[in-house]
Amino acid sequence: MPYRSLGDFITSIAAVYGDLPAFTTVLPNGMNGTLTFRQADEMSDALAVYLRDIAGLQAGDRVAVQVPNCLSYPVAAMAVFKAGCVLVNVNPLYTADEMAKQFIDAEPAAVIVVDMFADKLAEAVKTYPVKHVIVTRVAEYLPRLPKMIVGMVQKHWDKSVLPISIPHIRLPDAVAAGRAKHDSLHNAIEAYRSTISPDDVACLQYTGGTTGVSKGAMLSHANILMNMAQTMSLITNLEKGREVALTALPLYHIFAFTVNFLGFYSIGARNILIPNPRPLSNLKRAFENYKITWMSGVNTLFNGLNNEVWFLDTPPKYLKFASAGGMALQTSVAERWEQVTGKPVLEGYGLTESSPVLTFNPFGQVRHGSIGVPIPSTDVRCVDDDGVDVPQGQPGEVIAKGPQIMLGYWRKPEETAKTIQNGWLLTGDIGTMDADGYFRIVDRKKDMILVSGFNVYPNEIEDIIAAHPDVTEVAVIGVPDGAAGEAVKAYVVARNEGLSKDDLRAYCKEHLTGYKVPKFVEFRDELPKSNVGKILRKDLRAQEQAQAA
């Protein structure tokens, strides 16, 4: 590995690509702003100096960053790494209670927060006081006129920015203060970085909490740098200094963080940052104004774009391929995407605990329905409950070993011991491996439905129902069903109001054996989703339990 730390990596890459555009924020109306590699590097140097020499943070102190996809995010994250501190990514959409819980666990010495959500911060710090608060805005570092227009709209029109009641400093002022502190920012940064080890914690990356309580995965500098290199080695057909990556997934999500942010930074790509991809029309101007060559997403994003008239009318001309992860990519969605764009979706697989990528479909060797092959220096197996390898093609729990596996859960040794055993990460996912070494995820172990003694996997049923021409989205869970144990229930967002429950069950009977056919079907206007668009089965289960109670 050529870099000791993420700070070394950031500075080295900036020296190579200099004045090329590194990050561009694009708002729904097309207003935009850009930072070059050199600008982002210098500004993050100055902010690192502010954190260490003015705010007084020490190496290893945690810094919470609660910022959407905008120019402030890379500056903040890079500064934290250069300062030798630990980045704690926080979802900007969190409630005050959710923020407080994460702060209590991570104990950040400082927080960098976007002004739209600073009112929630004021409530959260009543529970856990954060000494240093740095406030930024979505339009930070945009040209003066667009920044002024956005500010006026947020303050006076939609009133999305409220007065900030707690002591704070604005991000540009913190950067300016750091810049004025030393004659040589470079020497100051070198001093901080010289004490950082590859095995030091770089990020406390909290798990999504989609299947349980969120935990902080300790990811080292080496974990993240290695996973970035492992993944980019499989993404071929890229030209250094010429790619344009669209980042609609939030950068505080581990896949977008490692691959979009750091991976494409490593090859001098221009990163198009979308602060809010909802509604999907917010992406229209980015596709129109920039020659997008690569993008990442989850199944719901690709499915949504497949149904957007503007996207169908003018699919991206320069796209080479797209990458999917975070949830199962439904075959019908992948095939439709390839029909529309003429380019494949490369599906991968990983977890927060693995920085995150474990497997990926190699370019030119894509297999629909497969999560691909293990990335370099990674071992992946499917095992039974005793940890013994299952026969080829048979389902078993996916376990993995490699240099990207986390150090453990922050202050949770018992949880760590349950998840990492003899160096192997127990993923909690059920998968299979074929004769060519390609893996498929059958489902989450916790999501498996037991119908009269038979194992039923929601992913399989969702994949069938999603292929119905009158279905937009679907989620499947198990519900209590007397002597049978559990029954299959499908929640469906219909494209055609004429679709009936009987129609859907009849369709399923054509493609599924009897015990897999949903016994119950419920139509909904929308399904609960995480911040990255992952459908939350746990929320549906909670709703069922509440109704039963």
Q: Specify if 260 maps to a domain.
A: no
DSSP secondary structure string, 202-259?
EEEEE---SSSS--EEEEEHHHHHHHHHHHHHH--S--TTT-EEEE-S-TTSHHIIII
For residues 296-320, give the mean pLDDT: 94
Q: Specify if 463 maps to a domain.
A: yes
Cα–Cα distance for residue pair 253/65, rounded to 1 Å: 12
Token representation of residue 500: 């009936």
Residue 160 has pLDDT above 80, yes or no: no
Residue 465 has pLDDT above 50, yes or no: yes
Q: Say if residues 147 and 171 touch (Cβ distance below 8 Å).
A: no
pLDDT of res. 210: 43
Considering only residues 237 and 265, tell me which one the structure prediction assigns the higher pLDDT. 265
Residue 341 has pLDDT above 70, yes or no: yes
pLDDT of res. 482: 79
For residues 133-137, give the mean pLDDT: 96
Q: Which of 63-72, 295-304, 322-331, 356-365 has the highest mean pLDDT?
A: 63-72
Token representation of residue 274: 């979308």
pLDDT tens column, 39-69: 999 999 999 999 999 999 999 999 999 999 9
For residues 296-307, give the mean pLDDT: 93
Domain boundary among 196, 211, 226: 196
Give the model's confidence band at 148: pLDDT under 50 very low, under 70 low, under 90 confident, else very high. Answer: confident
Q: Quick one: what percent of the chain has pLDDT higher than 90?
A: 78
Token representation of residue 411: 């202050």
pLDDT tens column, 365-414: 888 889 999 999 999 999 999 999 999 999 999 999 999 999 999 999 99
Q: Specify if 497 maps to a domain.
A: yes
Q: Say if residues 86 and 202 touch (Cβ distance below 8 Å).
A: yes
- Average per-residue pLDDT for the chain: 93
Q: What is the CATH number of the domain that holds 77?
A: 3.40.50.980
Cα–Cα distance for residue pair 225/216, rounded to 1 Å: 19
Which 3-state string (H, E, C) describes 72-134? HHHHHHHHHHHCCCEEEECCCCCCHHHHHHHHHHHCCCEEEEEHHHHHHHHHHCCCCCCCEEE
Q: Specify if 272 maps to a domain.
A: no
pLDDT of res. 151: 73
pLDDT tens column, 247-271: 999 999 999 999 999 999 999 999 9
pLDDT of res. 211: 46
Residue 156 has pLDDT above 70, yes or no: no
Range of the domain at 494: 448-548
Domain boundary among 168, 196, 224: 196
The model scores a pTM over 0.95:
no
Cα–Cα distance for residue pair 353/404, rounded to 1 Å: 8
Q: Specify if 345 maps to a domain.
A: no
Residue 23 β-bridge partners: 35, 271
Give the model's confidence band at 159: pLDDT under 50 very low, under 70 low, under 90 confident, else very high. Answer: low
Q: Specify if 151 maps to a domain.
A: yes
Token representation of residue 163: 């007065």
Q: Specify if 192 maps to a domain.
A: yes
pLDDT of res. 281: 96
Within 10 Å of residue 435's Cβ, how many Cβ atoms? 7
Work out how many domains the chain is built from and give that number. 2
CA count, 13 A, side-chain hemisphere, 141 = 24
Nearest to 117 by CA among 143, 99, 105: 99
CA count, 13 A, side-chain hemisphere, 190 = 6
Domain boundary among 171, 196, 221: 196
Residue 209 has pLDDT above 70, yes or no: no
In Å, what is the CA distance from 536 to each residue of 39, 327, 443?
A: 39, 10, 14
Q: Specify if 17 maps to a domain.
A: no
pLDDT of res. 213: 59
DSSP secondary structure string, 443-505?
EEGGG-EEETTEEE-HHHHHHHHHTSTTEEEEEEEEEE-GGGBEEEEEEEEESSTT--HHHHH
In Å, what is the CA distance from 259 to each residue of 144, 256, 502?
A: 31, 5, 43
Q: What is the CATH number of the domain that holds 536?
A: 3.30.300.30
Among 111-115, 119-123, 274-278, 446-450, the range scoring the smallest mean pLDDT is 446-450
Length of the chain: 549
Considering only residues 148 and 130, tell me which one the structure prediction assigns the higher pLDDT. 130
